Amino acid sequence: QPHTLVGALILCAPIFSVISEWLGYRKQDLRYDRLAKEVTKVTVILFSMTALTGGLFIFVLLAAYPQFTTWFINQFYLVFAVFYPFLFISGAIVLYTYFYMWEAWKGEKKGRHVALGVLLNLIGMTLLFVIDGPTSFMNTPVKAEGLSPQDLLATATLWDKIANQTWMPLNLHRID
């Protein structure tokens, strides 16, 4: 639960920051810019907490449910071994760049900084959509007529497992 809650903050705070920063730039009001920078500072601090709680969570799962966790990670190997780490590391790099380039990209370069914030948000949304795939699979596994669950899992592609009945509603719910 802490990982999910802090992760939600990590996703929503950059959205708020970019909107505030853009408003400050548009209205030439430094209060919006200061607010956006302070929210981003909190996001930078909590980003490491999200990583720590997520890492702790995976170790707890491996200790408490080793067979299930191994099976589940194997079902979504590309998600857990490639897509999620790539997006998480990319998000961290862009987040830290966004925060530490705040003063350097002022004035005429502010548009670049806002664009970097938009990129951060796109990476965050993509990360959310990717990790919602295994979550939705746990809620509504792949279904097909006439196949046993074992046969279905053996023939289902990664996309079949992710894009089920609850994937997009879960994405919309977690964005909200």
In DSSP notation, 117-131 reads HHHHHHHHHHHHHHH
Per-residue pLDDT reduced to its tens digit, 129-149: 999 999 999 988 787 666 776
Q: What are phi and psi of 149, to 5 degrees?
A: -55, -35
What pLDDT is recorded for position 2? Answer: 65
Q: Tell me how far apart the alpha carbons of residues 153 and 127 are, in angstroms, rounded to a whole number.
A: 24
Q: Tell me how far apart the alpha carbons of residues 127 and 124 are, in angstroms, rounded to a whole number.
A: 5
Q: Tell me how far apart the alpha carbons of residues 176 and 174 are, in angstroms, rounded to a whole number.
A: 5
What pLDDT is recorded for position 148? Answer: 74
Per-residue pLDDT reduced to its tens digit, 85-144: 999 999 999 999 999 999 999 888 999 999 999 999 999 999 999 999 999 999 887 876
* pLDDT of 163 over the 80 cut: yes
What pLDDT is recorded for position 1? Answer: 63
Entry pTM? 0.88
Per-residue pLDDT reduced to its tens digit, 51-78: 888 889 899 999 999 999 999 999 999 9
